[in-house]
Amino acid sequence: MNIGKLEKVDIREIWKHEQYGFSEWLSKKENIENLNDILGLTLIDISKETYVGAYRCDLFAKDETTGTKVIIENQLETSNHDHLGKIITYASGLDAKVIVWIVKEAREEHRSAVEWLNNNTSTNLNFFLIEIHAYKIGNSDPAPMFQVVEQPNDFIKNNKSSNSNDSMNKSQSQRIEFWNQFNNVVIERGKPFNIRKATTDHWYTVAIGTSEAHIDITLVNKDSVIGVELYIPDNKELFDKLFENKEEIEKSLGFKLEWRRLDNSKASRIIYYIKGLNFDDHSNYNELMNKSIDIVIILRDTFKKYI
């Protein structure tokens, strides 16, 4: 068996220009997916060269399921103070909550700066410092690779937002443990959907290709259930359209759903419950997680035909 040697490629040989080369490449759907895996988001509506005053942000996007605004600043050279100032300016001007700075090489002082920002800013703000590298084997095409240098520390962020004495309560701790294990199961199954960052939240969101609705997995420990639902934030007409096809949808799914129009709320929910959740007994976690993933997949694939 012949084994090749991994060789590093100068990224400037691949992309001669940040704007017309790298930014153009990164904005493509198949390439932004690699970044999604790192960020735990599903980026859509990618805009290039968005103006903020007299300056232009390289890429501006939003997360499909949460609507969170994201800026991406590309720098195919060693990080510098000028670009650090720019990412803060862009975040402020565009009201972005996720800030991504991609560089050829990160200076130690900028690593420290991004770490400080993550540790000392609002729980809603998340800063990523990422190096872009490229490699090839023999005469192969160069393969780009993102390397995370600094990223949000979820434990610090969640602790800051806790009302208790700087520590997570039992439910929060159990949730983050569940979601971490859940992400591992999703990865083992070949990532049928994008993984999200494990947090202390009781919900986990999966995009289905539209901003009108998404799938939520919810942990309801007091009722000993996991809910898997189509969540419609603000569109009663869409709910009514789906409800008209209720029998056909449930026949396709092979199980019944709870249809909640919620007339006194903007949101509507269509839910399936999985029994057996118990934060004090993890013995059935693998079974519960695999069942949840199965339900997510079939809900997504079925409802996409009607939305």
Tens of pLDDT along 18-65? 888 999 999 998 899 889 888 888 898 899 989 998 889 999 999 887
Is 243 contained in some domain?
Answer: yes
> What does the alpha-carbon distance between residue 184 and residue 189 come to, in Å, rounded to a whole number?
9
Contact yes or no for 214/64 (Cβ under 8 A): yes
Q: Which residue has the tokens 């937002």?
A: 161
> What does the alpha-carbon distance between residue 259 and residue 195 come to, in Å, rounded to a whole number?
27
Q: Decide if pLDDT at 176 tops 80.
A: yes
Final residue belonging to a domain, choices 130, 152, 174:
152
Asked if 142 and 179 sit in the same domain, the reply is: no
| pLDDT at residue number 158 | 46
Asked if 29 and 121 sit in the same domain, the reply is: yes
Asked if 127 and 195 sit in the same domain, the reply is: no
Is 257 contained in some domain?
Answer: yes
| Domains identified in the chain, total number | 2
| pLDDT at residue number 284 | 97
Contact yes or no for 52/71 (Cβ under 8 A): no
* Domain region containing 287: 163-303
Final residue belonging to a domain, choices 99, 121, 152:
152
Is 1 contained in some domain?
Answer: no
Which CATH number do you get for residue 260?
Answer: 3.30.1460
Q: Which residues lie below 8 Å from residue 183, measured CB to CB, with a gap of 6+?
A: 195, 196, 198
Asked if 213 and 256 sit in the same domain, the reply is: yes
Asked if 192 and 78 sit in the same domain, the reply is: no
Asked if 296 and 180 sit in the same domain, the reply is: yes
Contact yes or no for 62/72 (Cβ under 8 A): no
Q: How confident is the model at residue 261 (pLDDT cuts 50, 70, 90)?
A: very high
Is 114 contained in some domain?
Answer: yes
Asked if 178 and 298 sit in the same domain, the reply is: yes
**End-to-end distance of the chain based on CA atoms, in angstroms?**
51
In the chain, pLDDT over 70 holds for what percent of residues? 95
Interval 243-263 mean pLDDT: 96
Which CATH number do you get for residue 144?
Answer: 3.40.1350
Is 158 contained in some domain?
Answer: no
DSSP 213: -
| pLDDT at residue number 160 | 45
Q: Decide if pLDDT at 75 tops 70.
A: yes
> What does the alpha-carbon distance between residue 290 and residue 9 come to, in Å, rounded to a whole number?
40
Contact yes or no for 105/133 (Cβ under 8 A): no
Is 293 contained in some domain?
Answer: yes
> What does the alpha-carbon distance between residue 49 and residue 259 come to, in Å, rounded to a whole number?
43
Final residue belonging to a domain, choices 115, 130, 152:
152
Asked if 138 and 41 sit in the same domain, the reply is: yes
- For the chain, strand residue ranges (E) read 6-8, 43-52, 55-63, 69-78, 98-105, 126-137, 143-150, 203-206, 214-220, 225-232, 258-260, 268-275
> What does the alpha-carbon distance between residue 26 and residue 186 come to, in Å, rounded to a whole number?
25
Report the mean per-residue pLDDT for the chain: 90
Is 36 contained in some domain?
Answer: yes
Amino acid type, 229: E
Is 157 contained in some domain?
Answer: no
Asked if 99 and 218 sit in the same domain, the reply is: no
Residue 11 CB neighbour total at 10 angstroms: 18
Asked if 218 and 100 sit in the same domain, the reply is: no
> What does the alpha-carbon distance between residue 171 and residue 148 come to, in Å, rounded to a whole number?
30
Q: Which residues pair with 221 in a beta bridge?
A: none
Burial of 70 (0-12, 13-18, 19+ CB in 10 A): buried
User: What's the pTM?
Assistant: 0.66
Asked if 188 and 143 sit in the same domain, the reply is: no
Asked if 76 and 139 sit in the same domain, the reply is: yes
Which token pair is 15? 């992309």
Q: Which residues pair with 270 in a beta bridge?
A: 230, 259
